[in-house]
Amino acid sequence: MRLELGKIFIKDVQFGSKTEVKDGILYVNKEELLKEVGGDERLKSIDVDIVHPGEKVRIIPVKDVIEPRVKAEGNGGIFPGFISKVDTVGSGRTHVLKGAAVVTTGKIVGFQEGIIDMSGEGAKYTPFSKTHNIVFICEPVDNLMQHEHEQAVRMVGLKAASYLGKAGKNVEPDEVKVYETKPLLEQVKEYPNLPKVVYVYMLQSQGLLHDTYVYGVDAKKIIPTFIYPTEVFDGAIVSGNCVSACDKNPTYVHMNHPIIEDLYERHGKDYNFIGCVITNENVYLADKERSSNYTAKLVEFLGADAAIISEEGFGNPDADLVMNCYKIEEKGIKTVLVTDEYAGRDGSSQSLADSTPKGNAVVTAGNANEVIVLPPMDKVIGHVEAADIIAGGFAGSLRPDGSIEAEIQVITGATSEVGFGYLSAKSY
């Protein structure tokens, strides 16, 4: 598949009489936008606000972050299975409003949601302090079941990103990047002397409120399978989970997947990137064994010399990560693991819940238990009292002056397990 990504750089977002992109500014008709995302009887109110990098604004709790995109040419549409028909995506041309993001918040859905600070110490840990954010405050009706609440808020975000993305359909992009992965036999022949690399893309799917969707299907219901990397850029994979904010992959991250982008960057130079194997993360041992067996079999079948494996979440998914590593290595295929750590506040505890001697090449995204103090903000969008409840917070996290003491686990994207963050290691 060959996909052109046309990036339209957004330097500002403002409310206006018409939704359009003009001179790098995204103007949004607020009334029309709210009408587009409204109509769900499970939500008693929806409001929208706009925040910019550097403002003293806190968004809490954050449900999802989504980038506005639109199919400009080719088959299918953005978010197949939700907004568009279930056509295969990943080819043609897609336009991106780069620098803009849709953020959903409101009453907490699950306790593992996050914080985005647009300035201050917390802003250093989240990539979404650098985007111009169109924030939707979605308040549910009383006594709504959590899975219904999550679905309602998820659809608001997807509808909004689709609506806003259309403003860029006929705009000439500032930059166009081309990504292409050919059918397997053609791809192998193109660079026969380079090592063949597969990306094993683990999707969070551990139960209620731990859902990720592939073409609209809950990943719990899939067996490991092959996917063209370009399909991901068109929203074929959508977040629906409420796992810890620091290492959750919001939909925005799936659409801008840094491992896939980096693999493409070095494709044809250092190695032959032949595609992605998507697999789920399971609760029961039998399901973990089944999925890891199937994943290793697929990686071997594709003829890979090496595989990069990333997980989403921690604890229980560490077992899936280690099983995938062990079984792929047993087939003589080298692996590199990408994860984060929950090593205790002093960093001296065991980093992962499982391990294997074969996991001898590991990239860490940081220790989620590190404690930080987030300064008070001039404005809070959402429900600041959630600071005492969300994972990484504790009773008393929210201080009387509005500051928050918590683990960086509370910050959206702080220890991204696909590298969509800012933490790094330095040698002295």
**SS3 for 293-335, per residue?**
HHHHHHHHHCCCCEEEEECCCCCHHHHHHHHHHHHHHHCCCEE
Tell me the CA distances in angstroms from 190 to 91, 186, 194, 267, 334, one per residue in order: 20, 6, 9, 11, 22
Q: Is the pLDDT of residue 165 over 90?
A: yes
Q: Is the dihedral of CA 247, 252, 254, 257 positive or negative?
A: negative
Q: Is 261 a domain residue?
A: yes
Q: Do residues 89 and 234 lie in contact, with contact meaning Cβ atoms separated by under 8 Å?
A: yes
Q: Do residues 88 and 231 lie in contact, with contact meaning Cβ atoms separated by under 8 Å?
A: yes
pLDDT score of 110: 84
Banded pLDDT at 248 (limits 50, 70, 90): very high
Q: Do residues 38 and 23 lie in contact, with contact meaning Cβ atoms separated by under 8 Å?
A: no
Q: Is 403 a domain residue?
A: yes
**397: exposed, middle or buried (C-beta count within 10 Å: 0-12, 13-18, 19+)?**
buried
In a 3-state reduction of DSSP, which class is residue 69?
A: strand
- Rounded to the nearest angstrom, the gap between the alpha carbon of residue 355 and the centroid of all alpha carbons in its chain is 25
Average pLDDT of the chain? 96
Q: Is 394 a domain residue?
A: yes
Q: Is the pLDDT of residue 426 over 80?
A: no
Neighbours of 368 (CB within 10 A): 23
What is the chain's percent helix, strand, coil content, to nearest 5? 25, 35, 40
pLDDT score of 88: 95
pLDDT score of 182: 97
Distance CA 325, CA 355 (A): 10
Q: Is 347 a domain residue?
A: yes
Which residue range is the domain that position 88 belongs to?
Answer: 2-410
Distance CA 67, CA 148 (A): 23
Q: Is 328 a domain residue?
A: yes
Distance CA 411, CA 392 (A): 9
Q: Which of 242, 246, 276, 325 is catalytic?
A: 242
Distance CA 216, CA 214 (A): 5
Q: Is 36 a domain residue?
A: yes
Whether residue 276 lies in the annotated active site: no
Q: Is the dihedral of CA 291, 293, 299, 301 positive or negative?
A: negative
Q: Is the pLDDT of residue 73 over 90?
A: yes
pLDDT score of 245: 95
Q: Is 415 a domain residue?
A: no
Domain count of the chain? 1
Please report, rounded to a whole number, the percentage of residues in the chain having pLDDT higher than 70. Answer: 100
Tell me the CA distances in angstroms from 327 to 139, 158, 300, 353, one per residue in order: 45, 37, 10, 18
Mean pLDDT of 92-112: 95
Tokens 């809070």: give the residue: 380
Q: In what order do the strands lie in the sheet with 64-66?
A: 43-51, 132-140, 100-106, 64-66
Q: Tell me phi and psi for residue 349, to 5 degrees.
A: -85, 170
Q: What angle do CA 143, 146, 148 make, to 5 degrees?
A: 90
Banded pLDDT at 148 (limits 50, 70, 90): very high
**What is the helix (H) or strand (E) element at residue 33, kind and residue range?**
helix 30-37
Q: Is the dihedral of CA 128, 130, 136, 141 positive or negative?
A: positive
The one-letter amino acid at 288: K
pLDDT one-digit tens code per residue, 11-52: 999 999 999 999 999 999 999 999 999 999 999 999 999 999
pLDDT score of 383: 96
Q: Is 423 a domain residue?
A: no
